[in-house]
Amino acid sequence: MATVNKNLSDYDKTTLPDATNFRFGIVVSEWNDTITEGLYKGAYDTLIENGVDPVNLKRWNVPGSFELIYGCKKMQEQMVDAVIAIGSVIQGETKHFDFVCEGVTQGLKDLNVIHDVPVIFCLLTDNNIQQSRDRSGGVHGNKGTEAAVAAIKMAELRNIS
């Protein structure tokens, strides 16, 4: 497991680009909202900690993780430098988990290939609720923090002339 030896919230602030002039969109799934709100908090706090003005952050909610694709596509049109897609899918008894995870992964990948605004993948795909808690502010840190760090780096890359 990739997170066993790494806390998702650990990063060196001094290695990040200046984010004060970047604009970010965050699209958050309402499904498994106790998890997605934790991920959002990690992303939001990290962006603010790195100098992003709250007025340069735009949040939209979508009903579930599958809807992140459309939400992120529309967010790319909002004059932002990067978009963070936040969702949580927890394994159940049916193949629905597989279809949603694969669809969202491919859909967000396609947005990165087709459009000029990077979309950061912050979709937890866990076997159980405890794994999700551990990665949304628990013992393994917060994947939202990691996504915000990636968004800052990708916003910088996007703006290289």
Q: What CATH number should be reported for the domain holding residue 103?
A: 3.40.50.960
For 7-46, what is each residue's pLDDT tens digit?
878 999 999 999 999 999 999 999 999 999 999 999 999 9
Could you give the number of structural domains in the chain? 1
pTM for the whole structure: 0.95
Kindly report the average pLDDT of the chain as a whole number. Answer: 95
* 9/11 Cα distance (integer angstroms): 6
Range of the domain at 48: 32-158
Pairing of strands 119-126, 82-90: parallel
Average pLDDT over residues 120-137: 96
Strands 57-62 and 24-29: parallel
Is 17 a domain residue?
A: no
Asked if 23 contacts 80 with a C-beta cutoff of 8 angstroms, the reply is yes
Contact 135, 124 (CB under 8 A): yes
- On whether residue 109 sits in a domain, the answer given is yes
The yes-or-no answer on residue 115 being catalytic is no
Give the pLDDT band (50/70/90) at residue 92.
confident
Place of tokens 């990077």: 118
Which one is catalytic: 96, 109, 110, 157? 96
Query: Among residues of the chain, what percentage have pLDDT more than 70?
Result: 96
Task: Identify residue 84 by its one-letter amino acid code.
Answer: I
For residue 62, tell me if it sits in a domain: yes
Calculate what percentage of the chain has a pLDDT beyond 90.
Answer: 88
Q: Residue 1: what pLDDT?
A: 47
Residue 15 lies in a domain: no
